[in-house]
């Protein structure tokens, strides 16, 4: 029987699909262990407080008892209590001979050489206590609870490590998902960009088919749509490459974009008018004319979509303010909802039904990342206004 071997991509997709659930279960398990460890520590300190209080009570009782042997009995009971704590204890005389031992990790006679080796281990843990009156030395180790606390610390470190790992995996998955969404949106944007000239071409073809004489300026209109398709292809070729630095007149740019859209705007039902206000072809900035035209068209297309079904006015205004060149796109449409204004330029944010929210995100990237400019949504009482601000190009010598 032949088996079917999963491809590396299929295995990767399977791991990505189950990884979040496994990570959540693991973090929940470690969180439970951490909570249990905290409970154990709390109980340990509670038990230790009770034990110390009882020892204090027994010592105090022995010291205040009037019986002659009460103090000795109390001290012997105290020694028993200390041994019950589980602390490893070894008592040696001035010559180093072992004379008493308790809580050893092994069973052995006092003369066993293993105890002498164990004494050296205890001394590496804690400094031995010398009894000046008799010359004996007490060697002691850590309590069993100290080892428990060390294990709990390791568990906490493991919990933190796993949580960091889960965070890294979640971040990588989120980044991959966002990248996938961006590519999908880019494909949709390409189709969206090509939709306008293709629709126009189909309209011109229909006019030619229904009339014996070609309409006036048909060749010019067809040529404009073909040129637009060529520019759309150029735009996507520029993605990922450094923006060019050529003199671009913002007034001329606005007039070129407006000239293309004017013949394609509705003029009868719910008419839309598009006008340009600019000082001739300026002001001039250094930039990539193809990408700047793309950014401007994205905002003009948004304004047209906002006015669909109601009509209105769109104004493209180029001006100079100080050392900056400004290009404003404003309309008298319904405006941007207040709850979307802070996230409007993020990919996937849109107010249009069926929109993918990539146009403004691309426009901001073109303006700010590619041309050292700023693209903002201006506060307006009515309608919508986007403002692009660029450094003015230095006059040539």
Average pLDDT of the chain?
A: 78
What band does 252 get if pLDDT is binned at 50, 70 and 90? very high
Using CB atoms within 10 Å of the CB of residue 343, give its burial: 0 to 12 exposed, 13 to 18 middle, 19+ buried: exposed
| 38-42, 102-106, 115-119, 243-247: the lowest-pLDDT one | 38-42
Of 251, 259, 230, 360, give the one whose Cα is nearest residue 303.
360
Give 256 or 340, the one with higher predicted confidence: 256
Q: Is pLDDT above 70 for 214?
A: no
Q: Is pLDDT above 60 for 241?
A: yes
Show the tokens assigned to 310: 């109601």
Query: 309 with 353: CB under 8 angstroms?
Result: no
How confident is the model over 38-48, as a mean pLDDT?
Answer: 74
How confident is the model over 271-296, as a mean pLDDT?
Answer: 90
Q: Where in the chain is the domain with CATH 3.30.565.10?
A: 242-391
Q: What is the CATH number of domain 242-391?
A: 3.30.565.10
Question: Quick one: pLDDT at residue 6?
Answer: 47
What band does 286 get if pLDDT is binned at 50, 70 and 90? very high
3-state SS, residue 221: helix
Can you tell me the distance from the alpha carbon of 297 to that of 319, in angstroms, rounded to the nearest whole number?
A: 18
The beta-strand segments (E) located in 110-167 are 129-130, 137-140
Determine which helix (DSSP H) or strand (DSSP E) holds 391, and give its type and residue range.
strand 384-391
What band does 181 get if pLDDT is binned at 50, 70 and 90? low
Dihedral-angle region of residue 296 (phi above 0 means left; psi in -120 to 50 means alpha; beta otherwise): alpha
| 43-57, 191-205, 271-285: the lowest-pLDDT one | 191-205
Question: Quick one: pLDDT at residue 4?
Answer: 45
What band does 103 get if pLDDT is binned at 50, 70 and 90? confident
Q: Is pLDDT above 60 for 184?
A: no
Question: Quick one: pLDDT at residue 317?
Answer: 96
Query: 286 with 348: CB under 8 angstroms?
Result: no
What pTM did the predictor assign? 0.48
Question: Quick one: pLDDT at residue 1?
Answer: 44
End-to-end CA distance of the chain: 81
Question: Quick one: pLDDT at residue 129?
Answer: 86
Q: Is pLDDT above 80 for 121?
A: yes
Question: Quick one: pLDDT at residue 362?
Answer: 82
What band does 390 get if pLDDT is binned at 50, 70 and 90? very high
Note the pLDDT tens digit of each residue in 6-24: 444 455 556 556 666 666 7
Question: Quick one: pLDDT at residue 57?
Answer: 76
Residues in Cβ contact with 15 at an 8 Å cutoff, skipping those fewer than 6 apart: none
Question: For strand 89-92 and strand 137-140, is the pairing parallel, antiparallel, or unpaired?
Answer: antiparallel
Q: What percent of the chain has pLDDT over 90?
A: 17
3-state SS, residue 314: strand
Question: Quick one: pLDDT at residue 283?
Answer: 92
Give 298 or 230, the one with higher predicted confidence: 298
Dihedral-angle region of residue 102 (phi above 0 means left; psi in -120 to 50 means alpha; beta otherwise): beta
Note the pLDDT tens digit of each residue in 124-148: 888 888 887 778 888 888 776 666 6
What band does 351 get if pLDDT is binned at 50, 70 and 90? low
Q: Is pLDDT above 80 for 232?
A: no
Main-chain phi, psi angles of 253, to 5 degrees: -60, -45
Can you tell me the distance from the alpha carbon of 388 to that of 397, in angstroms, rounded to the nearest whole number?
A: 27
Note the pLDDT tens digit of each residue in 309-350: 888 999 999 999 999 999 999 999 888 888 888 878 876 666
3-state SS, residue 304: helix
What band does 178 get if pLDDT is binned at 50, 70 and 90? low
Question: Quick one: pLDDT at residue 2?
Answer: 43
Question: Quick one: pLDDT at residue 312?
Answer: 93
Question: Quick one: pLDDT at residue 358?
Answer: 74
Determine which helix (DSSP H) or strand (DSSP E) holds 378, and give its type and residue range.
strand 374-378
Query: 280 with 320: CB under 8 angstroms?
Result: no
How confident is the model over 248-271, as a mean pLDDT?
Answer: 89
Cis peptide upstream of residue 185 (ω within 30 degrees of 0): no
């Amino acid at each position: 029987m032949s088996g079917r071997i999963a491809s590396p991509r299929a295995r990767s997709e399977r791991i990505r699909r189950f990884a979040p659930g496994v990570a959540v279960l693991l973090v929940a398990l470690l969180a439970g262990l951490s909570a249990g460890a905290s409970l154990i520590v709390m109980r340990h300190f509670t038990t230790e407080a009770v034990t110390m209080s009882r020892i204090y009570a027994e010592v105090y009782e022995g010291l205040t008892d009037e019986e002659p042997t009460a103090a000795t009995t109390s001290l012997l009971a105290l020694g028993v209590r200390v041994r019950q704590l589980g602390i490893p204890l070894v008592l040696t005389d001035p010559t180093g001979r072992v004379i008493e031992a308790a809580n050893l990790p092994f069973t052995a006679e006092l003369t066993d050489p293993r105890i002498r080796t164990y004494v050296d281990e205890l001394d590496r843990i804690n400094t031995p206590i010398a009894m000046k009156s008799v010359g004996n030395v007490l060697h002691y180790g850590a309590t069993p609870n100290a080892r428990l606390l060390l294990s709990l610390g390791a568990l906490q470190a493991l919990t933190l490590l796993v949580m960091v790992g889960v965070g890294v995996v979640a971040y990588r998955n989120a980044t991959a998902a966002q990248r996938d969404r961006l590519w999908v949106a880019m494909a949709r944007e390409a189709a969206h960009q090509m939709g306008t000239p293709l629709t126009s071409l189909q309209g011109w073809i229909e006019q030619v088919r229904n009339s014996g004489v070609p309409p006036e300026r048909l060749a010019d209109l067809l040529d404009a749509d073909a040129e637009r398709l060529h520019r759309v292809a150029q735009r996507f070729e520029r993605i990922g490459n450094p923006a060019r630095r050529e003199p671009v007149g913002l007034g001329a740019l606005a007039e070129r974009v407006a000239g293309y859209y004017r013949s394609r705007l509705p003029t009868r039902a719910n008419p839309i008018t598009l006008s340009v206000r600019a000082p001739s072809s300026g002001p001039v900035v250094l930039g990539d004319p193809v990408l700047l035209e793309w950014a401007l068209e994205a905002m003009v297309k948004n304004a047209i979509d906002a006015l669909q079904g109601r009509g209105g006015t769109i104004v493209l205004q180029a001006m100079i303010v100080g050392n900056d060149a400004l290009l404003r796109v404003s309309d008298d449409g319904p405006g941007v909802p207040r709850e979307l204004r802070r996230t409007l330029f993020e990919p996937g944010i849109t107010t249009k039904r069926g929109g993918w929210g990539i146009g403004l995100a691309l426009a901001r990237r073109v303006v700010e990342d590619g041309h050292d400019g700023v693209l903002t949504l201006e506060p307006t009482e009515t309608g919508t206004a986007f403002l692009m601000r660029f450094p003015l190009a230095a006059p040539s010598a």
